Amino acid sequence: MGSRVARVSSGSPLARLGQRLKARTARIGVIGLGYVGLPLAVEFAREGFRVTGIDLDERRVAAVNRADSYIPDVPSADLSQFVKDGKLKASSGYTGLGELDAIIICVPTPLRKTREPDISYILGAAQEIVRSLRKGQLVVLESTTYPGTTDEVILPMLESRGLKVGRDFALAFSPERIDPGNAHFSTRTIPKVVGGMTPTCRQLVAELYGAIIVKVVPVSSTKAAEMAKLLENTFRAVNIALVNEIALMCDKLGVDVWEVINAAKTKPFGFMAFYPGPGIGGHCIPSDPMYLAWKARVHGFEARFIELADQTNRFMPHHVVDKIARALNEHRKPLKGSRVLLLGLAYKPDVNDTRDSPAFDVAQELISRGAIVTYHDPCVPQASVNGTMMKSVPLSAASLARIDCAAILTNHSTVDYDLLLRRVPIIVDTRNQYGANRSPRVVRL
């Protein structure tokens, strides 16, 4: 990093940017108005900054501009206040990027079908920034990606027009840590890791986020910040895989895995409880470790823990279908032709996010094996399941009377589980919703 350090005089464009950040007069741009970008834009507006949100989805843009939030963690009342005051506006185009002082990239980073990183959305945003990049701007990447993306991919693009990082413009990486639906931690209260290409970049990005977040955690480089994010989610993926494997083992041994976990977590040190389930979902946990595994392979290193964890977690939907089939068989019913109700398509409770939810893998295998599948999810009114658009069915005594088996895949808090228990003959409970309930109707993971 030493070769990239550039001296910044007190009257330089970057020094003036620092002054605007301190005075809350800097103009902020957020590219990508999803679960990460919109809450971030709202927090900057709350602190008095003028914010422009950019998203190619015109429906999102229109919703923001009419103060209609589509993110559960962002109240429409907040949007209404900031849109009315002129602090927040949205656009579906990149016109005006050159007028912004800080530009934050919050676009998706999915995996390709080959399980390799797809950073095309990042590259698209960076290309738009390059066209209007000027002296005195700060560019921050928040999208989760492999270590080296910022300095190996983004930096050469931004310097291609002759400007120099740390002297003319600033570049940093700060991983998003949003947890949709978490009532205890929000964008403002989750500590923010920041890494800059130079000390000046690090200082400016710390100043930017310090205006809206309670604690900023600087690290030595963008690569360290990128790696920290991947470590966080790889830790979770590997430990979830471990407990999923323990659940598979307990199933073979006839041991209650939930009882085992509850007993183990009474140890006051050296143990952290993780819980099994039908698989892992959301954008981060299934994808982020694979970014790290891919980067390791590029450097000739095999990330064996990550690969094994991925295999175990991706096996769990198949295990759930087998549990359903065995439970039906115990009631002298074949899986083929049985009516199976899936409780929850979202990847976690009380959110409407279905990205990479294992419920879709469960549904696909059930359908391929001849089951008649319906679903109920209070947060997902409709969804494409195995190529067919389905609507969430209401839960009632009449609708449940036709169900042979229900599988709890996501335990939303607003579902009437007592009604389910009374009306459905077989319930496969993958989330331990019923706890130690010994009802013969309930089959736990």
CATH code of the domain covering residue 105: 3.40.50.720
Number of domains in the chain: 2
Asked if the structure places residue 232 within a domain, the reply is: no
Same domain, 177 and 322: no
φ/ψ of 288, rounded to 5, equals -60, -45
Element (H, E) at 382: strand 382-385
Same domain, 211 and 272: no
Low-confidence ranges of the chain (pLDDT < 70): 1-10
Same domain, 179 and 285: no
Same domain, 199 and 247: no
Same domain, 137 and 265: no
Same domain, 43 and 112: yes
CB count within 10 Å of CB 254 equals: 6
Same domain, 318 and 398: yes
Same domain, 81 and 129: yes
Asked if the structure places residue 226 within a domain, the reply is: no
C-alpha to C-alpha distance for 290 and 323, rounded to whole angstroms: 28
Please identify which residue in the block is written with the tokens 């002297």.
Answer: 167
* pLDDT for the residue numbered 2: 40
* Residues spanned by the domain of 139: 2-220
Angle at which helices 76-84 and 58-65 cross, to 10°:
70
Asked if the structure places residue 184 within a domain, the reply is: yes
Same domain, 295 and 400: yes
Asked if the structure places residue 281 within a domain, the reply is: yes
Average pLDDT taken over every residue of the chain: 94
Same domain, 214 and 281: no
3-class DSSP assignment, residue 194: strand
Asked if the structure places residue 211 within a domain, the reply is: yes
Asked if the structure places residue 63 within a domain, the reply is: yes
b/e burial code for range 422-437 (CB count within 10 A of at least 16 → b): ebbebbbbbbbbbeee
Handedness of CA 215, 221, 224, 226 (dihedral sign): positive
Residue at a domain's end among 192, 220, 248: 220
Residue at a domain's end among 220, 251, 286: 220
Asked if the structure places residue 117 within a domain, the reply is: yes
Same domain, 275 and 179: no
φ/ψ of 376, rounded to 5, equals -130, 125
Same domain, 60 and 170: yes
What is the DSSP pairing of strand 442-444 with strand 382-385?
A: unpaired
Amino acid found at 335: L
Residue 263 token pair: 């007993």
* pLDDT for the residue numbered 1: 40
C-alpha to C-alpha distance for 256 and 407, rounded to whole angstroms: 18
Residue at a domain's end among 161, 189, 220: 220
Asked if the structure places residue 266 within a domain, the reply is: yes
Catalytic residues: 284
Cα distances (angstroms) measured from residue 376 to each of 182, 265, 401: 22, 32, 15
CB 121 within 8 A of CB 143: yes
pLDDT tens for each residue of 218-234: 999 999 999 999 999 99
